[in-house]
Amino acid sequence: MATVVVERAAPKDAFDVDEILRACFARPAEAMLVKQLAIDGDLVLLLIARDEASKAPLGLVALSKMHVAIGGDAAPSVALAPLAVLPEHRRSGVAAALVQAAVDEMRRASALLMFVLGEPGFYEKFGFSAANAEGFDSPYAGPYFMALELQGGLPCGPRGLADHAPAFATLEETQ
Ligand SMILES: CC(C)(COP(=O)(O)OP(=O)(O)OC[C@H]1O[C@@H](n2cnc3c(N)ncnc32)[C@H](O)[C@@H]1OP(=O)(O)O)[C@@H](O)C(=O)NCCC(=O)NCCS
Residue nearest to atom 1 of ligand 1 (CA): 84
Residue nearest to atom 5 of ligand 1 (CA): 95
Q: What is the pLDDT of residue 4?
A: 97
The preferred substitution site among 64, 122, 164, 168 for testing ligand 1, maximizing ligand atoms within 8 Å of CB, is: 122
From the CA of 92, how far away is ligand 1's center (Å)? Answer: 9
Q: Could you give the CA distance from residue 129 to residue 120 in angstroms, rounded to a whole number?
A: 7
Give residue-wise pLDDT tens across range 104-156. 999 999 999 999 999 999 999 999 999 999 999 999 999 999 999 999 889 99
pLDDT at 174: 53
Q: Are 70 and 134 in contact (CB under 8 A)?
A: no
**What secondary structure, in 3-state letters, does 103-137 show?**
HHHHHHCCCCEEEEECCHHHHHHHCCEHHHHCCCE
pLDDT tens track for 34-82: 999 999 999 999 999 999 999 999 999 999 999 999 999 999 999 999 9
pLDDT of 9 over the 80 cut:
yes
Asked if residue 93 has its Cβ within 6 Å of ligand 1, the reply is yes
Pick the residue whose CA is nearest to atom 17 on ligand 1.
122
Q: For residue 94, how far is its CA from the centre of ligand 1 (angstroms)?
A: 8
* Residue 26 clears pLDDT 80, i.e. is over it: yes
- Report how far ligand 1's centroid is from the alpha carbon of 158 (Å): 33
The pTM of this model reads 0.96
pLDDT on residue 77: 98
pLDDT surpasses 60 at 168: yes
Domains, the chain: 4-173 (3.40.630.30)
pLDDT at 28 over 90: no
Q: What is the pLDDT of residue 1?
A: 66
Beta bridge partners of 66: 77
